[in-house]
Amino acid sequence: APTEYSKKLPQFATIINRRQLNANNATYDFIIAGGGIAGLTLADRLTEDPNVKVLVIEAGPIDPGLEGIQVPGSFSPWYYFWPNLLTVPQTALNNRVIGTVSGQVLGGGSAINAMVYVRGDADDYDAWGFMQRRGNSSFYGNSSVSSSMSWNTMLPYFLKSENFTAPDAAYALEANITWNPAVRGTSGPLKYTYPPYYFPGAANWWNAAQSVGLPPVDDPLSGVKNGIFPIPSVLDADTMTRNYAKINHHDRVKQARPNYHVLAGNIVGKVLFDPSCKKAIGVEYLPTSGGAATNVFASKEVILAAGGINTPKILQLSGIGPKKLLDKFGIKVVSNLPGVGQNLQDQPTLTVPYTFTNNLTPNSGSLMANATYNAEQRALYDTERKGAYTIISSLSTNIGQLSLKQATSDYQAIIAAARAANPADSLPADVDATVLAGYQVQREAILNQFEGDVGVGNLHWGTSDNALVYHLKPLSRGTVEIVTTDPLVNPAIDHRTATDPIDFAVYTALFRKNRELFAAPDMQVLGPAEGAPFAAATTNEEIIEVMRDQINPSNAHQCCTAAMLPKSLGGVVNSEQKVYGVSRLRVADISFWPMQTAGSPLGTMYAAGERLADMIKAEYGLA
- The contact set with ligand FAD (CB under 6 A) reads 33-38, 57-60, 77, 101-105, 108-110, 112-116, 267-268, 305-307, 310, 314, 556-557, 589-590, 600-602, 605
DSSP symbol at 215:
P
Q: Which residues of 120-148 are buried (b: 16+ CB within 10 A; e: fewer)?
A: bbbbbbbbbbbbbebbeeebeeebebebe
Name the minimum Å distance from CB 557 to ligand FAD: 5
Note the Cα 348 to chain centre separation in Å: 12
DSSP symbol at 485:
S
Closer residue to ligand FAD (CB): 414 or 572: 572
Closer residue to ligand FAD (CB): 36 or 167: 36
Helix 411-420 to helix 433-451 angle (10° resolution) is 160
Closer residue to ligand FAD (CB): 60 or 423: 60
Name the minimum Å distance from CB 257 to ligand FAD: 19
Name the minimum Å distance from CB 34 to ligand FAD: 3
Name the minimum Å distance from CB 169 to ligand FAD: 26
* DSSP code per residue over 315-365: HHHTTEE-HHHHHHTTPPPSEE-TTTT-SBB---EEEEEEEESS--SS-TT
Answer for the pair 379, 186: CB distance below 8 angstroms, yes or no. no
Half-sphere exposure of 100 (CA within 13 A, CB side): 32
Report d(CA 342, CA 433) in Å as an integer: 12
Using a 10 angstrom Cβ sphere, with 0-12 exposed, 13-18 middle and 19 or more buried, the burial of residue 169 is exposed
Note the Cα 623 to chain centre separation in Å: 30
Cα torsion 358, 394, 120, 217 to 10°: value is -30
Name the minimum Å distance from CB 394 to ligand FAD: 12
Name the minimum Å distance from CB 109 to ligand FAD: 2
Cα torsion 233, 234, 238, 241 to 10°: value is -100
Closer residue to ligand FAD (CB): 115 or 436: 115
Name the minimum Å distance from CB 416 to ligand FAD: 33
Closer residue to ligand FAD (CB): 124 or 530: 124
Name the minimum Å distance from CB 270 to ligand FAD: 9
CB atoms inside a 10 Å sphere around CB 512: 16
Give the nearest residue (CB) to ligand FAD: 36
Residues 6+ apart with CB under 8 A from 428: 479, 496
Residues 6+ apart with CB under 8 A from 174: none
Closer residue to ligand FAD (CB): 57 or 352: 57
Report d(CA 455, CA 405) in Å as an integer: 9
State the amino acid at position 431 in one-letter form: V
Name the minimum Å distance from CB 218 to ligand FAD: 21
Name the minimum Å distance from CB 317 to ligand FAD: 9
Name the minimum Å distance from CB 474 to ligand FAD: 16
State the amino acid at position 271 in one-letter form: V
State the amino acid at position 409 in one-letter form: S
Name the minimum Å distance from CB 488 to ligand FAD: 9
Closer residue to ligand FAD (CB): 470 or 534: 470
Largest CA distance in the chain: 73
Closer residue to ligand FAD (CB): 35 or 135: 35
CB atoms inside a 10 Å sphere around CB 501: 16
| Ramachandran region, residue 223 (left: φ > 0; alpha: ψ -120 to 50; beta: rest) | left
Closer residue to ligand FAD (CB): 204 or 401: 401
Closer residue to ligand FAD (CB): 322 or 601: 601
Cis amide bond preceding 566, omega within 30: no
Closer residue to ligand FAD (CB): 42 or 407: 42
Closer residue to ligand FAD (CB): 441 or 602: 602
Name the minimum Å distance from CB 107 to ligand FAD: 7
Cα torsion 438, 443, 445, 449 to 10°: value is 160
Closer residue to ligand FAD (CB): 390 or 426: 390
Using a 10 angstrom Cβ sphere, with 0-12 exposed, 13-18 middle and 19 or more buried, the burial of residue 339 is buried
State the amino acid at position 131 in one-letter form: M
Backbone angles phi, psi at 429, to 5 degrees: -60, -35
